[in-house]
Chain A
Amino acid sequence: MNFKRFARKWLRPGRATVIAVPYFWLLVFFAVPFLIVLKISFAEQDIAIPPFTSLLNYEDGGLLHVTLNLANFQFIFGDELYADTYLSSLRVAFFTTVMCLLIGYPIAYAIARTDPARRNVLLMLVMLPFWTSFLLRVYAWMGLLKPNGIINHLLMSVGLISEPLEMFHNTFSLYLVMVYAYLPFMILPLYAHLVKMDIRLLEAANDLGARPLKAFFAITLPLSKNGIIAGSMMVFIPAVGEFVIPELVGGPDTLMIGKVLWNEFFDNNNWPMAAAVATVMVLLLIVPIGLFHRYETRELEGKNV
């Protein structure tokens, strides 16, 4: 009996394929690369190709030496600068996420509540920036924000200001471009959740005496919780490792782990150190992903009506 159930559940070929595809994907594009990175992080820098030592050494006496170099990790955990950098990355990602949420939620809500004909046009507008290269868009912002950029030029020629505004290579420009770049990743999952919500639930709430604002907080917001979580993950996770935006428009004092990684890898040619930095970053991110995953599973098991 039990075996039959087990067989029905796992051995049906269609089902097995469907399950296998994402696992295969994760294995090839996440687990294997991560293990390689993990391996490199335990090596030592070397002047060779590739530029790191091997973990396994076979010696004459039939001894297999496994050398795990923990120095990189010791260094990361010993040096306050790394801790500061991780914290700073998490902070930037966190505030970017919060701002994307605050701006993205009303936008997603408005799109979900317009009539279906106009909805698609609005969604297209949200996705339109993806048609241009990401790098190009960041360069466009540079052109706008620079001291002698378009905005300053315009304001000065109109006579509103006499000196260029300080809005480039500082915290302001960093967050502006971060939020700009990640906003669609917040809007789309939020929209997907809001659009499938039954309007009758709000009518029922109104009918039972809840004013629109109260109904929003009691019904709409809780029911879009998964959209909020999904959107936040989609923004937060890539934002932590973001390198291009802080490099191009962030201030000189902006510490971002992506920047450290770049330096170790390309400037210092220290692959093991870069790998260790990346490993710690992945572990930092796996915690929120794991939480999200657990939530989603519960969601699928529960509310699948």
Chain B
Amino acid sequence: MMEAVAAAAPVQTGVQAHNTPYLQISGIFKKFGDNVAVDHVDLDIRQHEIFALLGSSGCGKSTLLRMLAGMERPTSGRIVLDGQDITHLAPYDRPINMMFQSYALFPHMSVEQNIAFGLKQDKLPKGEIESRVAEMLDLVQMRKYAHRKPYQLSGGQQQRVALARSLAKRPKLLLLDEPLGALDKKLRQQTQLELVNTLEKVGVTCIMVTHDQEEAMTMATRIGIMSEGQLLQVGTPGEIYDYPNCRFTAEFIGETNLLTGMVSVDEPDHVEIDVPELEGRIWIDHGITGPKGMQVWTSIRPEDVRLDRKPPATPGVNSARGTVVEIAYLGSYSVYHVRLPSGKVIKSMVPSSRWYEAGEEAPTWDETVYVSWRPDLPVVMTR
């Protein structure tokens, strides 16, 4: 936990030193005119990994992916795949295949011909092509539709054909740009697991782009958070959720309460942060790397915020008094919005059983309540 809270530390790649990464992206930079689309991204990917690039619209995810595919030339930087420098290779010379967001299936070719297209470019023998196409059709369960044209398929079926086509050449690296972006919400959730299963069965190394955090959390072994062309944080879904290293990540992944404050006590075993919005202090039971007087941001997840009618034991520390302004009842839990005297609203996620077990009525609108949290739960960030 110590290093996780070391907020200003460089982007952590999670690759062991002795294990050279399969794909190395170093210092990749891309400008369109004066507009910086990708800003010095360093990233290492291990073999067989499913990596998700996550970020809001226009943050440069697609551009980064297109540079890996060779469809966009980096302004500077280097890409090494499996020991080969591919930075300047043409797309048709790279052992990389991409599944496009709009699928880009060839409309004048049947499902079978679409899947065979890449294999034909390699001038494989006819029998080999046929058996591979059959294998791919089975993989995505599209054998029945082999002779259909793309326009005769549903969105989900088109997605599977696009996947089969991009896997047919057994690429060293598979790129997926918003693989499920064109599907509706319900189909998307079903397809997420199906897609992961297929990718794991094939064992392909994979980078996918999405702006749906749920999709990234469900599918990826690791996630990279991008904003304004920069890669802000890399880690497993759990790491990113529990230990965001910056405000952007904390707010982008899940919901959180973000509090601005100043370090007032900086000891090796604990830290105190003055937070004007709380009219009190946050007391944290471990040290952070950062001097006294530094401005920091503290993230406390709504599920970590406790709601009580009684005042806490230590008023002014890790707690605050406020009034309930909104309650969102979500079945097994409710989210309470509590307005503090400073005007700051703190969200608290309370299990529905909480009041029942305490033998109390649930608090209601305009009631005065106290929010509090354990000293080990807040995450401190310096940017």
Contacts and interface: CB of A to CB of B under 8 A. Distances in A.
Q: Do the two shown chains form a genuine complex with each other?
A: yes
Interface residues of A, number: 21
Contacts of A15: none
B118 A209 contact: yes
Given A201-B107, A208-B97, A208-B118, 12 more contacts: A201-B106, A203-B71, A204-B105, A206-B71, A206-B92, A208-B121, A209-B169, A214-B121, A219-B106, A303-B107, A304-B151, A305-B151
Interface string A184-210: 000000000000001011011111111
Nearest to B91: A206
B165 interface: yes
Given A208-B97, A209-B92, A203 B151 contact: no
A207 B91 contact: yes
A8 interface: no
Given A204-B104, A305-B107, A210 B151 contact: no
A203 B71 CA distance: 7
Nearest to A211: B92
B90 interface: yes
**Ranked 10 nearest A-B pairs via Cβ:** A209-B121, A208-B118, A204-B104, A305-B151, A200-B104, A206-B91, A209-B92, A222-B108, A207-B98, A210-B121
B149 to A, nearest CB: 8
Contacts of A155: none
Nearest to A202: B104
Contacts of B121: 208-210, 214
A222 B92 CA distance: 20
Interface residues of B, number: 25
23 contacts: A198-B102, A200-B102, A200-B104, A203-B100, A204-B98, A204-B104, A204-B105, A205-B117, A206-B71, A206-B91, A207-B69, A207-B91, A207-B98, A208-B97, A208-B121, A209-B118, A209-B121, A209-B122, A210-B117, A211-B92, A214-B121, A223-B108, A302-B151
B104 A223 contact: no
B118 to A, nearest CB: 3
Most chain-B CB neighbours within 10 Å: which of A203, A209, A210? A209
Contacts of A26: none
Contacts of B166: 207-208
Contacts of A154: none
A237 to B, nearest CB: 26
A284 interface: no
Contacts of B91: 203, 206-207
A218 B117 contact: yes
